A = this chain, B = another copy of it.
């Protein structure tokens, strides 16, 4: 199969951004068996408690992971975009400990874990690339713990937006200063541990201080340095290659 004709190309693009792979390894990844599907916004890709057999690869659109508390509160754990492997953990762990849900309309590939694990066993470099991807995920989770644990509302929302902006740029998905922000204010609240009402008021403050302007599901960052400062944002935790000097 010619490399760029495989639907899995975005996944390989993301992995090779951080882990160099040989052509033979790339071809092996692109040739992974998979089922393609289109899903509407808000549809579930994995449900907490599932015993999944397939790993979900996000080929276009946005998705999020979330957990629900006993009291019914929802906490969004991470946001995902094109090329991300969601749910790698369910191949090695018994049961999905969280849900994965589409934020926008998405195109996904379901890949059998068996095939992924076999590939990892056959190619140490692929095992390493997947492991590294998991480690970066972990780094992002840690930063989110800091975000909801030690920052106030302004900082939390600013930080979330900075992360999405940097990741979209790293994935070549957008042109600064305008980014997609496919979340409702309620979802922003679920990601930052705030109520939608307070998100609304905080966003109004940010707009009036000239940090950004919003338009439907997209945002224009009108003062990037200030937004970054306000969000206490340092991109190191994303472990993305630095962008070229402007």
Contact = CB atoms under 8 A, between A and B. Distances in A.
Contact of A93 (B65, B98, B135, B232): B135
B134 A141 contact: no
Interface residues of A, number: 48
Contact of A120 (B75, B92, B128, B144): B128
Interface string A65-96: 10101110111010000000000110011110
A40 B224 CA distance: 43
Contacts of A137: 138
A237 B124 contact: no
Contact of A121 (B67, B75, B124): B124
A10 B139 CA distance: 25
Given A120-B128, A121-B124, A134-B131, A71 B232 contact: yes
A217 interface: no
Given A71-B232, A120-B127, A193-B150, A145 B77 contact: yes
A88 to B, nearest CB: 7
Interface string A142-171: 111110111100000000000000000000
B150 A69 contact: yes
A94 to B, nearest CB: 7
A139 B239 CA distance: 20
Given A73-B150, A89-B138, A141-B141, 5 more contacts: A93-B139, A97-B236, A117-B128, A124-B127, A131-B131
Interface of A: 65, 67, 69-71, 73-75, 77, 88-89, 92-95, 97-98, 117, 120-121, 124, 127-128, 130-132, 134-139, 141-146, 148-151, 192-193, 232, 236-237, 239
25 contacts: A65-B142, A67-B142, A67-B143, A70-B232, A75-B145, A75-B146, A77-B142, A77-B145, A89-B135, A89-B138, A92-B128, A92-B131, A92-B135, A93-B135, A93-B139, A93-B239, A97-B142, A98-B142, A121-B124, A121-B128, A127-B127, A138-B138, A145-B145, A148-B193, A149-B192
